[in-house]
Amino acid sequence: MSNVKRALAVAAGAISGKMINDFIQRRSINKVSGEEEDLLGLPTKVSKYSTPAITLGVGAATALLSKSQLAKDLSLGVMASGAVGVTQAFFGKDLSSLQSADEPVELMYGDVLPGVGEATYDALPTANEAAQAYVPEVAPSNELEDEMAGIDEDILL
- Determine the Cα–Cα distance for residues 92 and 140; give it in Å rounded to an integer: 62
For residue 61, what pLDDT is reported? 92
Helices (H), the chain: 2-24, 44-65, 69-91, 127-133, 143-149, 153-156
Q: What is the pLDDT along the chain (157 residues), one digit of tens a residue?
A: 788 888 899 999 988 888 888 787 776 666 676 677 777 777 777 777 888 888 889 899 998 999 998 889 999 999 988 888 888 888 877 766 544 445 555 555 555 555 565 656 667 778 788 778 777 777 766 666 666 666 665 565 5
Residue 44: per-residue pLDDT: 72
| pLDDT for res 85 | 85
Q: What is the pLDDT of residue 28?
A: 66
Collapsing DSSP to helix, strand or coil, 117 comes out as: strand
Task: Give residue limits of the domains in the chain.
Answer: 2-91
What confidence score (pLDDT) does residue 20 get? Answer: 83
pLDDT score, position 100: 47
pTM (predicted TM-score): 0.55
